[in-house]
Structure 1
Amino acid sequence: MSSNASIRLLIVDDHPLFRQGVRWALAGEEDVTIVGEAASGEMAMEWLESAGSTYEPNVMLVDLNLPGMNGLELTRQVRRQYPAIGVVMLSMHESDEQAFNALRAGAAAYRSKDVKPQALMEILWRVARGEYVINDVVLEEPRVASRVLSQFRMLPEATPTNPDATDVPIFTPLSDREIEVLERIASGGSNKEIADSLKISTQTVKNHISSILRKLSLNDRTQAVLFALRRGWIETPSEIRQQSSEEQEE
């Protein structure tokens, strides 16, 4: 697979044989550099602190079940201190609980360790480009998709104190009503149609849309729908009609 970017990978796993296996699997891949290894979360953070900008990875491959600081806590710390690094989390077995926890921690991808080398490369390239691929697992297992969606709907609202801040959480939860509005936008509803179906005013719909865009730091409703779809927050028909005329409404 080709890409305009390059992968600078840090492998974090307590099994030397697994780390060597990753090196072997990625050997010869174009524009992929394994910049380092760490056997624990603590060692990974020390490595990042001493690496400097020259060797800083843009992708980390992290074992969920690390000794001491586990993969989830490591991911949280990396996302706080090194937001440009995408974390690919691996576990022995895929499960809805682990997928949800990885997503909550800020991981950009979640897979089991039996992932094939070609599939792993696809994931690494996508994460290096700033994409999120947890939902590929979610969409393969409807139970997981349903649970992730319901769990996010139960989360409290988290509006950034500074809408222009660069450290806005990747997975910002929306309220139940905002999710409903997004679902209807994705299905092609106009502001008036959404208002009628939810029995609220058109102005209230506009207020919800403004709130959604502010929380997600996005510019228009189409971007918000795509953002929510990629993260499994909403379910829509296979075809989504463009709402260009609605985007121009004040």
Structure 2
Amino acid sequence: METIRVIIIDEQPLFREGIRATLQRMGNCEIIGESTDATEVLDIIRTNTADVALIDAGLTSSDPLEIARQTRHLAPRTAIIMLTPSEDEERLFQSIKVGAAAYYTRNITSEELVDAVRKVSQGEYLINDDVLSKPQLASRVLRSFHELTVEKEEGTPKDSYSPLSSREVEILDYIARGNSNKEIAKSLKISDQTVKNHITSILKKLSVSDRTAAVVHALRHGWIKINNEA
């Protein structure tokens, strides 16, 4: 069983102690650092290979979103879990924009935390559970990534390599436009089952758990676009 290396960024000592104790009981989790100071956190990120960063979204001593953003820049493979004081759709949206893999309120149970750390360390994108339960937020997320893609078209090269086939990219493009499996099948003149098979293949290749995660992943890498259509 591979060791999961975790950094904890939380300014409440008692809560931090609870997180540490919970993760240490996993048996394969190593806490490589704890801090609330942005400079110190980023130094730890630079000098260690963290699998997961747990960030208190309610930090007052530093900007938690900026810490998350810098972490993603310095260590793209480090999965970020944001722990928020309360349900906040704007904070959720901003967490998605900075690349968080999961977003939970601070009343998360020990079992949920352990499960989340294990899953995000393996590349799962749990934040989509929140997105899928809020259609308006999902639409806002897609628009935001579209705008980001447009901004980057001038001067910033995209990752041209895609593990997906041309048909899979085409299907992802339809998904990004809000089409159901049945609508995709009708447009491409293939069966519903064939569409399902392609989607299963897409999720496996991208190591994501659902359609929204696949679309966000593809938008980030510039493999698909969302055109402004009436």
Q: TM-score, normalised by structure 2?
A: 0.68
Gapped regions of structure 2 (runs ≥ 5): 163-172, 190-197, 217-230
Of 92, 95, 98 in structure 1, the residue corresponding to residue 85 of structure 2 is 92
Distance 1:40 1:121 in 2: 25
> Sequence identity, in percent?
28
Residue 116 of structure 1: how far off its partner (Å):
0.8
Residue 42 of structure 1: how far off its partner (Å):
2.0
**Are the equivalent residues in 1 in contact too, given 2:57–2:84 (CA < 8 A)?**
yes
Matched, 1:189 2:189: no
Q: Are residues 161 and 92 of structure 1, via their aligned partners in 2, closer, same or farther at CA, if it must alter by over 3 Å?
A: same
Give the match for residue 38 of structure 2: 41
Of 202, 218, 226 in structure 2, the residue corresponding to residue 223 of structure 1 is 202
Gapped regions of structure 1 (runs ≥ 5): 167-177, 196-219, 235-250
The equivalences for 1:145-160 within 5 A come to 145-152=138-145, 155-157=148-150, 158-159=152-153
Query: For structure 1, which segment, 98-107 or 140-149, has the greater mean C-alpha deviation from structure 2 after superposition?
Result: 140-149
Instruction: Name the amino acid aligned to 1:163.
Output: D
> How many residue pairs get matched?
193
The equivalences for 1:1-250 within 5 A come to 4-49=1-46, 51-52=47-48, 56-152=49-145, 155-157=148-150, 158-159=152-153, 161-164=157-160, 178=173, 183-184=178-179, 186-187=181-182, 189-190=184-185, 193=187, 223=202, 229-231=211-213
Q: Are residues 185 and 82 of structure 1, via their aligned partners in 2, closer, same or farther at CA, if it must alter by over 3 Å?
A: same
**Are the equivalent residues in 1 in contact too, given 2:45–2:74 (CA < 8 A)?**
no
Residue 48 of structure 1: how far off its partner (Å):
2.6
Distance 1:7 1:48 in 2: 14
Residue 127 of structure 1: how far off its partner (Å):
0.7
Distance 2:74 2:57 in 1: 19
Q: TM-score, normalised by structure 1?
A: 0.64
Distance 1:117 1:41 in 2: 26
Say which SS state the counterpart of residue 27 (structure 2) adopts.
coil
Instruction: Name the amino acid aligned to 2:187.
Output: E
Alpha-carbon RMSD: 3.5
